[in-house]
Structure 1
């Protein structure tokens, strides 16, 4: 996680300056975003919690993702990412959250969703989530690193907006 120190420090400065409190909801990164954020001393001032929801059941239980959403669209979908980020906000004291669900590989690809397919969702409390589909390349670690970097960059952008 040393790879993300500068970016994580930037997230901390953004959160502090805008009095934002963060939460993460992670599947394919398995807590990597929260780990990157909390490597910064003092992050407890602006980071509330992280949810690692690797299975569909955990997405339902911990974040309130609807069973129907998972059945209809799958765990790796815009709809699931949106429900994950809203669940992170409603089940924490956070004012801003990021969620990620994807296929880091090497297996898990399905038609229309190859390895490297990742949905990231960002949201401020009381607003509509912004969800983006990404197609990252490389091995499992490269996909996860690209996802974490994109998640952190998106947090700064969202916090600084308005």
Structure 2
């Protein structure tokens, strides 16, 4: 897989070529996606905003994720990733978004949702897409893999038109 820096530069080029913006809704990455995107100069041309919604209350307050959805499915779930991605676009001036919610560890895992479990959501002009991954390694490795996968997934969807 390409490096995070390479993915960000490709994402920047793709979005700028379309005159479009993206937003990020992050839980387990705590702003690392937004940080990677704003690492390069001129990112305000294509990166609109990031939401760090680490707590369940923040997911509800900033992204409009229903508390009942979190209660019924858990914060680390397909339903919540989908709602986060949808909420990011709805609460930003963006055409695209990526959302991540997961368990980076080393604590917090369970038999159903072990450490390394991450749900992704991508809101595109054609709809919202979700995906589940399980990454190995320590907390840093899980978070870095999550950032890379989130960016690669968004880039892939932009390249295919949604």
- Fold shared, TM-score > 0.5 on shorter chain: yes
What TM-score comes out, normalization by structure 1 length? 0.95
Q: Which residue of 1 aligns with 2:60?
A: 60
Please state whether the residue corresponding to 1:129 is helix, strand or coil: strand
Q: Which residue of 2 aligns with 1:156?
A: 155
Provide the aligned length of Structure 1 versus Structure 2. Answer: 159
Task: Provide the C-alpha distance between the structure 2 equivalents of 1:4 and 1:84, rounded to a whole number of angstroms.
Answer: 22
Uncovered stretches (5+) of structure 2, i.e. residues with no partner: none
* 1:128, distance to aligned residue in structure 2 (A): 2.3
* 1:44, distance to aligned residue in structure 2 (A): 0.3
* 1:109, distance to aligned residue in structure 2 (A): 0.5
* 1:4, distance to aligned residue in structure 2 (A): 2.2
Q: Which residue of 2 aligns with 1:44?
A: 44
Task: Provide the C-alpha distance between the structure 1 equivalents of 2:159 and 2:18, rounded to a whole number of angstroms.
Answer: 7
Task: Provide the C-alpha distance between the structure 2 equivalents of 1:32 and 1:24, rounded to a whole number of angstroms.
Answer: 10
* 1:101, distance to aligned residue in structure 2 (A): 0.1
**Regions of 4+ moved over 4 Å:** none
Task: Provide the C-alpha distance between the structure 1 equivalents of 2:121 and 2:19, rounded to a whole number of angstroms.
Answer: 20
Q: Which residue of 2 aligns with 1:25?
A: 25
* 1:12, distance to aligned residue in structure 2 (A): 0.4
Please state whether the residue corresponding to 2:101 is helix, strand or coil: strand
* 1:155, distance to aligned residue in structure 2 (A): 1.3
Answer yes or no: is 1:104 the counterpart of 2:104: yes
Task: Provide the C-alpha distance between the structure 2 equivalents of 1:46 and 1:12, rounded to a whole number of angstroms.
Answer: 6
